[in-house]
A = this chain, B = another copy of it.
Amino acid sequence: MQLHGQNIIAGQSQAGAGSTFNGLNPATSAVLEPAYQEASTEQINAAVEAAAAAFDAYRHKSADERAAFLERIADEILALGDELLQRAHAETALPLEARLMGERGRTMGQLKQFAALVREGSWVEARIDLAQPERAPLPKPDIRRMLIPMGPVAVFAASNFPLAFSVAGGDAASALAAGCPVVLKAHPAHPGTSEIVARAIATAAEATGMPAGVFSLVHGTSHEVGSTLVKHPLIKAVGFTGSLRGGRALFDAAAARPEPIPVYAEMGSINPVFILPGALRERSAALAEGMKNSVTQGVGQFCTCPGLAVGLSDESFTNFSDKLNELMADAPTATMLYPAIAKSFSDGVRKLAHLEGVKTTQAKQTAEFGKTHASPTVFTTDAATFNAHHELSEEVFGPATVVVACDDRAQLESIARNLEGHLTATIHGTPEDLKEYVTLVEILATKAGRLIFNGYPTGVEVCPSMQHGGPYPATTDVRTTSVGTAAIARFARPVAYQGFPQAALPVELRNENARGVWRLVDGAMSQANCGE
Give the B-binding residues of A (Cβ under 8 A).
Answer: 56, 60, 102, 122, 127-129, 137-138, 140-141, 143-145, 148, 150-151, 251-252, 255-256, 259-260, 262, 420-421, 431, 434-435, 438, 441-442, 445-446, 448-455, 459, 461, 463-467, 469, 471-473, 476-481, 486, 492-501, 503-504, 518, 520, 523, 525
What is the bound-complex CA distance between A469 and B150, given in angstroms? 14
Sorted from nearest, which 8 A-B pairs have the closest CB atoms? A467-B496, A255-B255, A127-B465, A145-B465, A450-B496, A143-B465, A453-B499, A452-B498
User: When chains A and B are docked, how far (Å) is the Cα of A403 from the Cα of B512?
Assistant: 38
CB-contact partner of A141 in B455, B480, B493, under 8 A: B455
Given contacts A465-B128, A518-B525, contact A259 B454 (CB under 8 A): no
How far is it, in angstroms, between the C-alpha of A445 and the C-alpha of B464 when the chains are bound? 28
Q: Is the CB of B499 within 8 A of A56?
A: no
Complex contacts, A434 vs chain B, CB 8 Å: 500-501, 503-504
Give the Cβ gap from A469 to chain B, nearest Cβ, in Å. Answer: 7
Residue contact A498 to B143, C-beta cutoff 8 Å: no
How far apart are the CA atoms of A518 and B518 in the complex, in Å? 11
Q: A128-B465, A259-B473, A461-B141 are in contact. Are A449 and B503 (CB under 8 A)?
A: no
Do the beta carbons of A129 and B451 come within 8 Å of each other? no
Nearest residue in B to A493 (C-beta to C-beta)?
Answer: B478
Are the C-beta atoms of A129 and B453 separated by less than 8 Å?
no
Can you name 17 A-B residue pairings with CB atoms under 8 Å?
Answer: A56-B442, A140-B463, A143-B466, A150-B478, A251-B260, A259-B473, A260-B472, A434-B503, A449-B495, A450-B497, A450-B498, A453-B497, A453-B499, A453-B504, A466-B496, A478-B493, A480-B494
Q: Which of B129, B451, B499 contacts A500 (CB 8 A)?
A: B451
Of the candidates A122, A431, A446, A496, the one having the most CB atoms from chain B within 10 angstroms of its own CB is A496
Whether B495 contacts A450 by the Cβ 8 Å rule is yes
Residues of B within 8 A of A469 (CB): 494
Q: Is the CB of B431 within 8 A of A262?
A: no
Assess A461 versus B494: contact at CB under 8 Å? Given A434-B501, A452-B499, A479-B262.
no
Closest to A459 in B: B138
Q: When chains A and B are docked, how far (Å) is the Cα of A375 from the Cα of B384? A: 68
Chain B residues closer than 8 Å to A497, beta-carbon distance: 450-451, 453
Chain B nearest CB, measured from A121 CB (Å): 12
When the two chains form their complex, are residues A451 and B498 in contact, meaning their CB atoms are under 8 A apart?
Answer: yes
Q: Are B449 and A496 in contact (CB under 8 A)?
A: yes
A444 to chain B, nearest CB (A): 9
Which residues of B have CB within 8 Å of A471?
Answer: 259, 493
From B60, B252, B461, contact of A140 by CB (8 A)? B461
> What CA separation (Å) do A72 and B178 show in the bound complex?
41
Q: How far is the CA of A251 from the CA of B255 in the complex (A)?
A: 8
Partner of A260, one of B138, B431, B476: B476
Q: Are B481 and A467 in contact (CB under 8 A)?
A: no
Expressed in whole angstroms, the Cα–Cα distance for A186 and B341 within the complex equals 50
Report the separation of the CA atoms of residues A524 and B183 in the bound assembly, to the nearest whole angstrom: 33
Given A449-B494, A504-B441: A463 in contact with B260 (beta carbons within 8 A): no
Measured CB to CB, the closest approach of chain B to A445, in angstroms, equals 5
Contact call A472/B259, Cβ cutoff below 8 A: yes
Smallest CB–CB gap between A297 and chain B, Å? 12
Partner of A446, one of B122, B151, B438, B442: B151
Bound Cα distance from A481 to B127, whole angstroms: 13
Question: How far is A461 from B131 in the complex, measured between Cα atoms in Å?
Answer: 11
